[in-house]
Amino acid sequence: MTELVREVSENDQLRADIYQLLAALLRRQPSSELLQFLAGLEIDANDGSDMTKAWVGLKLAAEQFTSEQLEDEYFNIFLGVGSGEILPYGSWFMTGSLMDKPLALLRTDLMQLGFEREEEVKEPEDHVAALCEVMGTLILEAPGYRQLAFYQRHMGSWIARFCETLAKTPSAAFYATVAELAKAFFVIEANEFEQLSLNIPVNCPGSEEEKIEPSTNELAS
């Protein structure tokens, strides 16, 4: 089968990179290397946008914390003894319970898209880090209508509430800045997908020429 090469715009590459960064930060506490990367970001502080302010806040926080310090913060927020201060799962934010119908629908969609779960991963597939990872991959590899469908079905209705909840969790210091970055980013994403929905023809899912074979990816959470 001929593999179709999809051109990726600079904007889409940046979006995918931010999704992957959020996935890394929400999956576990940041490594020393990731903190060093964030602390070294060059940011145009004259840009007064919410996104730029969030980048500045994350950069400053990365300069102040070590990976070892953030291990406790991450544990308290996302894991805890029994449960953390926030449950980072789509089903919880959509229905108020875990392992609910949204997770079953997500598993069906992931299978159809060619994503496979790693055997050693114990977290449900609707962990916010895993969903960010999938979105980052879809932006690089899938047509717009697939990106839009996945975002609307599995993230769009609750991700803003997740960001607001994370920002207010008692243990969040570094992760309050992660929440602000995510909040600003998903406001932009909502606008991106609103525009995309207006540009997609009503006869989607696309012509045979538009379709691509999704690669098989392994989910991590």
**Per-residue model confidence (pLDDT) at position 128:** 96
pLDDT band, residue 169 (cuts 50/70/90): very high
Q: How many CB atoms neighbour CB 102 within 10 A? A: 21
Q: Give residue 200's pLDDT band: very low, low, confident or very high (50, 70, 90).
A: low
Ramachandran angles phi, psi of 199, nearest 5°: -95, -10
Q: To the nearest whole percent, how much of the chain has pLDDT over 90? A: 58
The band of 121, judged by pLDDT with boundaries at 50, 70 and 90, is low
Q: Which residue has the higher pLDDT, 4 or 45?
A: 45
Instruction: Give the model's pLDDT for residue 47.
Output: 77
Average pLDDT over residues 180-204: 82
* Residue from 161, 154, 80, 157 nearest 124 by CA: 154
Q: How many residues does the chain have?
A: 221
Check pLDDT > 80 for residue 117: no
DSSP string across 45-99: TT--SHHHHHHHHHHHHHHH--HHHHHHHHIIIII-SSS-SS--BHHHHHHSSSS
pLDDT at residue 219, rounded to an integer: 45
User: How far is Cα of residue 134 from the mean position of the Cα atoms in its chain?
Assistant: 8
Say if residue 4's pLDDT is above 90.
no
How many CA atoms lie within 13 Å of 210's alpha carbon, on the beta-carbon side? 11
Query: pLDDT digits over 66-97, tens only?
Result: 999 999 999 999 998 778 899 999 999 988 88
Q: Are strands 217-219 and 115-117 parallel, antiparallel or unpaired?
A: parallel
| pLDDT at site 81 | 78
The least confident of 55-69, 94-108, 127-141, 207-221 is 207-221
Mean pLDDT of 196-221: 49
Read off the pTM: 0.84
Give phi and psi for 30, each to the nearest 5.
-65, 145
